[in-house]
Structure 1
Amino acid sequence: PEMENAGFFYYTGLKGWLYWFGAISAIGLGSIPAQDLMQRMLSAKSEKVASYSSYWAALLYITVGMLPVMIGMIYFHINPDLGLEDAMNKILIFTAVDYLPPILTVIFVSALVSALMSSSDSAILATASVIGNNGSKYVKKDISEAQSLKITRLFVPIVTCAALVLAMYFQTIYNLMVIAWSILLVGLFAPYAAAFFWKKANQIGAISSFFAGFTAWIASYFYFLPDTMAANVDVAPGISGLHFDWAMWDALYIASPLGLLASIVTLIVVSLATQKTDVPKPLRDITGDILPTINWRGIFTRGHEDHTGHLTADELMHDER
């Protein structure tokens, strides 16, 4: 059954589970294959530092990341008559202005803008560098590093303008972030994770997984859209009739777990069916050596590392055997 005027709790049963799993996994799993995260991982001085840093980052993500969420919930509880647009995008600013001294308000807003700019430039550079370094090789296989760099620089302003257009049209920051991670969830998470943990994953399986997950996500979106449209009629004071933006976001959330499932199933089936025509390739480092998987869990194992943070020669030989 479905409850009227229940907000996020409108959806129950299977749709309710899909809604909440989609909203949580989009951030929890969808952000894993994001390139800006990999930029920070690959900049670590050793494998050990990268592994430990990931666990510390996860802990901080849960604790520090909950602070603005709790602040928003408390402020909205104190000010229940807050306008809809203000409630979605401006609560942190209002909280600082109402409850902090002017000097601390300036510091807080400056820090907030700094964090936004830092995240924005990482996302812009990540997208442009993927196009310049990876995408350009499909057009010209023997492209030089100088040409690749020029393409990357060219696409920095293009990506910036595209992001600006999206931000102007979809004005809810949270929804934009979740949808961006949902695309990664349904298309990239399964092949990315399989590359580390499943030796039979191959290129054809990964590409098929991406298209299958994305296609299933879009198809499921249109399937659930009539239900979410019915759930978003007269949903807030001052809004009469259908609020299509919310219906669209809800349908995308509910559809994302099905896209992920299709991506995983397709990856397994296609990879197993094409083992002979597309032989799986092992992970290699920048020098071409095969990467071991002995200490991939980092903190939970006791792999012996040398002073550079790499596994010792004895462990490499053991892993190859």
Structure 2
Amino acid sequence: MALDLFVVLIYAAGMLVLGYYGMRRAKTHEDYLVAGRNLGPSLYMGTMAATVLGGASTVGTVRLGYVHGISGFWLCAALGAGIIALNLFLAKPLLKLKIFTVTQVLEKRYNPMARQASAVIMLAYALMIAVTSILAIGTVLQVLFGLPFWISVLLGGGVVVVYSTIGGMWSLTLTDIVQFVIKTVGLMFILLPICLYRVGGWAELVAKLPASSFSFTAIGWDTIITYFMIYFFGILIGQDIWQRVFTARDEKVAKYAGTFAGFYCILYGLACALIGMAAHVLIPDLDNVNNAFAAIVKVSLPDGIRGLVIAAALAAMMSTASAGLLAASTVLTEDLLPRLRGGMQSSLALNRLFTLLTGIAVLGIALLVSDVISALTLAYNLLVGGMLIPLMGAIFWKRATTSGAITSMILGFVTALVFMFKDGLDANTPIYYSLAVGLVSFVVVSVLSRKPEAAVVRAV
């Protein structure tokens, strides 16, 4: 594996070099957080797609393909559909607001208290998004190179923390576009064709797998609906994704490049599901299905080429990890910290410091969690259950009040936690009950309380 390790080390060094160039371009607070709001179509499309397709999308979808067949692609399909809807319908008004965080919309519509309450939920979500991909990085390095898991997490995650800290969004943009190219070539044009060749071609894949593996609904309609409830709506309100929208030069860039990124996500999901199906044929008795991706890479690819595909997988994971890390740091410095500093706004140096501290926290959490899809589900359950209703109410319902919004956030968040603890992270009940409780409490409290003092955000 020496040649593979060399290729991966070259890739990691390249990410750090790009991080350095990003640091040189990040000269202001706005440069650091949203790349100066000046990305063109190519950079915007690449960074948008790279942000969404991370550890859970790659390792998780291969696992779903291994277990359920082609229907495993629905996780990425829900993410891709969310990206398309966001860029077609919300990007234009969001760009006009010139804001940095999702929670600033709630402050404009309600009051600063609503912003602080929602910031806590958004922080939990963004942290878990970063943790999910750091976990995936650790899993891949552990299986392929035989490293202890904690060393794998610290090495792979450490690279993400360093380049994210020094250059912020410019570093993320430069690394994302390279990561987008690497994972497209490595996974869709190298790993997938080789896996199909190893199986014996498409005809052999069809012959060796049950017919249900080729059904787009085999994973179950309840799971498909839940994926859309969690991931589609999560994309529409996630800080990591909105922060990418804020980088677009104008609404046309967001509309067309963002839509292309969404369709790319769907195709990527199909490719990863097919890789998982090939893995089921080549390695039918895998002890841990969470290791399906790493196992198929180890079994099917020659030295050197294996290293390139490992780099492609790490590219997918690092892009999402860095997005979650910067999103969490931005929420801290823009929404929560000013409250403790008497309203003083953050500086470039402060942004860097808190990105570093947030990165250290993410690495610590990653050492305590084990399942990438469960971690992703936890993040999106908390986000959608706690914030979807108040945020949509802020945009579309004039009668909504601050007390209704805060009540909905708290009860939705707590309900999601209770049912995840009661029924497990893979259950559908957390998202359904949290949305139901959040909606009822939002409407009832808003109707019973006085009219909001703040004006409706008509731009959204």
Scaled by the length of structure 2, the TM-score of the pair is 0.48
Deviation string, structure 1 residues 196-222 (Cα, Å, up to 9, x no partner)? 333333433322221010122233345
Q: Is the alpha carbon distance of 1:150 and 1:134 closer, same or farther for their aligned partners in structure 2, counting shifts above 3 Å?
A: farther
Aligned residue in 1 for 2:408:
209
- Checking the alignment, whether the CA contact within 8 Å between 2:417 and 2:430 is kept in structure 1 is yes
Q: Which structure has greater helix proportion? A: 2
User: Partners in 1 of 2:335 and 2:374 — Cα distance?
Assistant: 28
* Partner Cα distance (1:172, 1:136) in 2: 31
Matches of residues 127-146 of structure 1 in structure 2 within 5 Å? 127-146=328-347
Residue 193 (structure 1) aligned to one of 362, 377, 392: 392
Q: Deviations over 1:10-47 (max 9, x none)?
A: xxxxxx98766444422222232111101111111222
Match of 1:39 in 2: 243
Match in the other structure for 2:285: 81
Question: Any idea what the Cα deviations from partners look like across 1:152-179, whole Å, max 9, x if unmatched?
Answer: 3333233223222322221111211121
Report whether the alignment pairs 1:112 with 2:313: yes
Query: Cα 1:120–1:219, aligned 2, differ >3 Å: closer, same or farther?
Result: closer
Contact 1:42 1:50 in 2 (8 A): no
CA shift for structure 1 position 122: 1.5
Change (3 A) 1:55 1:271: farther
Q: Is the 8 A contact 2:389 2:408 kept in 1?
A: yes
Counterpart in the other structure of 1:282: 456
User: Considering only CA atoms, is the larger Rg found in Structure 1 or Structure 2?
Assistant: 1
The structure-2 alpha-carbon separation of the partners of 1:195 and 1:74, relative to structure 1 and needing over 3 Å to count, comes to farther
Relative distance call for 1:118 and 1:250 in structure 2 (3 A) is closer
Normalised TM-score (structure 1) = 0.66
Structure 2 Cα separation of the partners of residues 77 and 194 of structure 1: 48
User: Which residue pairs with 2:441 in the alignment?
Assistant: 266
Give the one of 5, 11, 25 matched to 2:229.
25
Letter in 2 for 1:136: L
Query: What are the superposed Cα offsets for residues 81-123 of structure 1, whole Å, 9 maximum, x if unpaired?
Result: 1112xx20x3223223333343332221112212222221121
Is residue 251 of structure 2 the alignment partner of residue 50 of structure 1? no
In the alignment, residue 163 of structure 1 is paired with which amino acid?
A: V
- What is the rounded CA distance, in whole Å, between the counterparts of 1:200 and 1:102 in structure 2? 63
C-alpha distance in 1 between matches for 2:257 and 2:399? 29
Q: Which runs of 5+ in 2 are unaligned?
A: 1-66, 69-219
Q: Deviations over 1:52-84 (max 9, x none)?
A: 344333322222123213312331244221112
Change over 3 Å in CA distance of 1:144–1:40 after alignment to 2: closer
Of 246, 251, 256, which aligns to 2:431? Answer: 256
Show CA shifts across 1:208-246 (max 9, x none). Answer: 221010122233345x44xxxxxxxxxxxxxxxxxxxxx
- The one of 259, 262, 266 equivalent to 1:62 is 266
Q: Is the 8 A contact 2:333 2:351 kept in 1?
A: yes
Number of residue pairs the alignment of both structures matches: 243
Q: Which gives a bigger RCO, structure 1 or 2 (Cα 8 Å, sep 6+)? A: 2
Task: State the percentage of identical aligned residues.
Answer: 26
Q: Which of 275, 280, 285 is the equivalent residue of 1:71?
A: 275
User: Which sections of structure 1, spanning at least 5 residues, go unmatched?
Assistant: 1-6, 9-15, 226-247, 284-289, 294-321
Runs of 4+ in structure 1 over 6 Å off: 16-19
